[in-house]
Copies of this chain bind each other. A is one copy, B any other.
Amino acid sequence: MISGWEDIRAEVLRRIRVRDWPPGALIPTEEDLAAEFGVARATVNRALRELAGAGVLERRRKAGTRVAALPVRKATLDIPVIRQEVEARGQVHGFRLLERVEGVPPVPVTSRMGLAPGTRILWLETLHLADGRPFVHEGRWLNPAVLPVPLPDFAAVSANEWLVAHVAYATGDIAFAAEGAGPREAAVLGVAEGTALFITERMTWTAEAPITYVRLAHAPGYRLQTMV
């Protein structure tokens, strides 16, 4: 017996998968489906809206709902705090603050952060450990102009966790790439120079000003995984 929007979502997905409704096909209207399943239109709407959000359906007013021809798979990733990530593997998290200085970031960073050239901001370099072994090398530029004072001792509290607890973040973007280890990363992570490393880059903003730019270089073997 079908009832509830999750049942309807499952049934619609089943019909798409067994090709009752092949890619590109127009499916019945919400009203028709509601009548067929014996539920209210709002319930069908909820189910179809979810499937459209997942990229399985394409909906347009008046035009109707059709099965996505080239399903742009929308994968959702959980980007946890590093400590949680390590602990989720059953390992013990630790970190060492390697450097804390003020300076002028390189041009690509200033431009991406939208800072005036020559602005001096805070640089933190941290090595995260899992069970005592190098896990991630973190390089972070922090804009002190938007931070509450006093700043903590970043050797005792991870910058990431202090920020989420004390700064009103707004938006950001994340990028992933693969790069060969530079001399500094190689030395800190204990790998040969040029070793392929998984890189995560994050920019965070308040409504107006940049908060922080982070570059994470993950130790070899790191994988970012998703379920679709």
Contact = CB atoms under 8 A, between A and B. Distances in A.
Contact of A174 (B164, B175, B196, B226): B226
10 contacts: A16-B168, A17-B207, A18-B168, A71-B164, A72-B79, A72-B81, A74-B78, A173-B228, A177-B224, A178-B179
| Copies of this chain held together in the complex | 2
Interface residues of A, number: 53
Contacts of A226: 77, 173-175
B78 A72 contact: yes
Contacts of A84: 70, 72
A184 interface: no
A170 interface: yes
A174 to B, nearest CB: 5
A225 B178 contact: no
A202 to B, nearest CB: 9
Contact of A70 (B70, B161, B207): B161
A37 interface: no
A219 to B, nearest CB: 10
A225 B199 CA distance: 12
Contacts of A17: 168-170, 206-207
A94 interface: no
B76 A74 contact: yes
Contacts of A161: 70
